[in-house]
Amino acid sequence: MKVDEIMDVALRRGFIFPASEIYGGVSGFWEYGNLGTLMKRKWEDAWRHHFLSLDQNYYEISTSNIMPEAVFKGSGHLEHFNDPLTACTKCNQRFRADDLITDACGKNAEDMTTEEMELAINEENIKCPRCGGDLGPVQLFNMMFCLDIGAAGGTKGYLRPETAQGAFISFKRMFEVLRNRLPIGIGIVGRVYRNEISPRQGFFRLREFNQAELQIFFDPDTFDEHTSFDDVSGTPLRVRPLDRDEEVEMTAGDFRDTYGIGRFYVYHMVKIQEFYLDVLKVPRDKFRFRELSERERAFYNKVHWDIEVDMETLGGYKEVAGIHYRTSHDLSGHQEMSKQKMQVNIDGKKFVPHVLELSFGVDRNFWALLDLAFAKEEERTVFRFPPRMAPITVAVFPLLNKQPLIEKATEIYSQLASIMQTDYDRGGSIGRRYRRQDEIGTPFCVTVDFDTLEDGTVTLRDRDSMEQKRVGENALLGEILSRVAQ
Ligand code: GAP
C-alpha cells in the first residue's frame, strides 16, 4: 500500500518517526527527523511569505504554549471543546463515536447530536472494534490537556489547543503596537495540544501538532469590502458548497454573489487557493473548499469552509486547513472574563473587532506533500516535491571519489550551501547516488567530472525528467535558482 511505502521511506530517511519510539511510543505523537524538519520549515516559511505579505499590517508573534484556566473559560474551550466518546462495556476501550459510525456505514456523523449517534450505533448494530462488546452511552469528552502550574500547585493551566488564543489575548497590546489601525493580522506558528480520543490514520490525527494561523482583526461593517477584490473577482474558485454534491468552479465574484459571503472572506479564499495551487503545486483537481454545515462548524464560527486535499493514502478528500469567520466571539469572551476592554475606537467609532481566521495544520499539509509527491517507478522511488519544498535543493557529487575531483566538488558544494540546502555525496556509483537523492525528493544533482577541470562545466541533472545538461560553473547558481522559482 502507498501509505506503507511512504512510511518506509519516511522512517528510513529521516522525515518522521514515532515519538518516544524506544519505549514503544504513544499514539498521536510523532517527531520530525533531519529531512522532515527541513521540509516542515520550508512549508512554514512559504506560509509566512505568502500570507504575511497580504497586507502591510500582518505580522507574526510568538506566544505561550501554556495558558491559565481563565483564558479557556473566556474562549469557551472548557465548555465546548468536546468530542463524542463511547466506551466498550466489556473491554473499556474508548472510541470517538462519530468515527465508529463513519467507519461502519460511511455516514458523516460529525454533525450528529450525541442522541443521534447513540441511535445510529444501535440501528447499525455497531460493536466494539476491539472485542465485539456492546458500546456504552455517547458522552462529550473535553480535549484539553490540564496542568498544575508552579511548585505549590493550585494554579490550573492548560496546553493551548490552538495557536489562535495567543493572538486574541495579545490583541490589546498589538493593536497599540501597530498604531491603532484595522485591519491587523496576527500570525502564530507553533505547537498545539489536544487529547484526541482516538488518534489514528498514522500521521493525520495527532495529540501534539503544529499550526500556522493568522487572525485578521477587522471592522465588521467592512466584511463585504476589500480594496483588492476587483483584482481577484474573476479567479475561478474550486468549491463544494452544502447545496452541491460535487466540486464546482465559479469565479470569486459569482461565489460572493451566490452565497452572500463578504468580499473580505472571499478575497482570502482566493489567496489560500493560490497558496495551494501555485506555491505548493497541488493539482487543481485534488483541491477544494468544502462548506461545513451549522452543526459541523466549530463552536466559534459563523462562516466555515474547510480546505481539503484529495490524498490517496487517506482515501479521498481530507481537511488540511480552514477559513473561519469567528466574529467577535473570542475578543468578547476575553473582555468579559478579563474585564479588560477589547473595544477599539477608530475615528470616534467604538466596536469590538471581528476576526477572520486562516488556520492551517502544518503536519497534515506536510503529509499531503508526501502523499501527492510520492511515486514508485520501475527503477526508482521518487518524491516529486515542488523544488522549493524539497528538504534538499541540490546534491553535489564528484564523479569519482578521487582528487582533484573531490576538491572541485567541495568548492562547488560550499558555494551552493551558503545559498540553499545542499547535500554532498561521494559514495557509490553516480546512478546509486541519483537514486538516493530521488528517494528524498532532491530536485537537482550536480556532477563534477574531468571536463569540469578542463572547461568549467558541470552536469546538472533534473529529478523529474532525469535530463542531464552541461552548465557553466558560473551559471550554475542562477540556473538552479530560476528552476526553483518556477
Ligand atoms: N484555530 C482554529 C482551529 O484550531 P481546527 O479546525 O480545529 O481549527 C485547524 O484546526 C487545523 O489544524 C485543521 O484544519 C487541521 O489541519 C489541523 N488539525 C486539527 N486537529 C488536528 C489533529 N488532531 N492532528 C493534526 N492536525 C490537526
Determine the atom of ligand 1 nearest the C-alpha atom of 163. 1
CA of 76 to the centre of ligand 1 (A): 17
101 and 68 in one domain? no
Residues with CB under 6 A from ligand 1: 162, 164, 194, 196, 205-206, 209, 211, 213, 298, 319-322, 357, 359, 361, 363-364
- Coil, strand or helix: which one is 141? strand
- Count of domains observed in the chain: 3
| Final residue of a structural domain among 324, 346, 374 | 374
395 touches 438 (CB < 8 A): no
Q: What is the CATH number of the domain that holds 91?
A: 3.30.40.230
As a whole number of angstroms, the distance between CA 202 and CA 206 comes to 8
23 and 124 in one domain? no
90 touches 128 (CB < 8 A): yes
404 and 447 in one domain? yes
pLDDT score at 360: 98
CA of 206 to the centre of ligand 1 (A): 9
Half-sphere exposure of 284 (CA within 13 A, CB side): 5
pLDDT score at 390: 98
288 and 263 in one domain? yes
Q: Evaluate if residue 424 carries a pLDDT over 80.
A: yes
Task: Classify strands 422-424 and 394-398 as parallel, antiparallel or unpaired.
Answer: parallel
175 and 60 in one domain? yes
301 and 390 in one domain? no
C-alpha cell at 124: 447499525
Q: Evaluate if residue 153 carries a pLDDT over 90.
A: no
274 and 246 in one domain? yes
pLDDT score at 154: 83
| Final residue of a structural domain among 374, 404, 433 | 374
Query: How wide is the angle at C-alpha 84 spanned by C-alphas 318 and 354, nearest 5°?
Result: 65
Q: What pTM value is reported for the model?
A: 0.96
197 and 342 in one domain? yes
Q: What is the CATH number of the domain that holds 17?
A: 3.30.930.10
Q: Evaluate if residue 183 carries a pLDDT over 90.
A: yes
Atom 16 of ligand 1, residue of closest alpha carbon? 361
282 or 198: which leads in pLDDT: 282
pLDDT score at 108: 82
pLDDT score at 184: 97
State percent of the chain over pLDDT 70: 100
Q: Evaluate if residue 200 carries a pLDDT over 90.
A: no
C-alpha cell at 106: 460511511
- Where helices occur in 390-463 by DSSP H, the ranges are 405-417, 430-439, 450-455
Which CA distances in Å does 158 have to 78, 103, 149, 205, 281?
10, 32, 9, 20, 37
Q: What is the CATH number of the domain that holds 446?
A: 3.40.50.800
pLDDT score at 298: 86
Query: Which of 209, 214, 308, 317 maximizes ligand 1 atoms within 8 Å of its Cβ, making it the mutation to test the pocket?
Result: 209
C-alpha cell at 13: 530517511
363 touches 209 (CB < 8 A): yes
User: Residue 57 — very low, low, confident or very high, per pLDDT cuts 50/70/90?
Assistant: very high
Q: For residue 90, give its domain range.
A: 84-142
178 touches 57 (CB < 8 A): yes
Determine the atom of ligand 1 nearest the C-alpha atom of 321. 14
288 and 212 in one domain? yes
User: Residue 214 — very low, low, confident or very high, per pLDDT cuts 50/70/90?
Assistant: very high
| Final residue of a structural domain among 374, 395, 421 | 374
Encoded amino acid at 454, one letter: E
237 and 295 in one domain? yes
The mean pLDDT value for 104-132 works out to 91
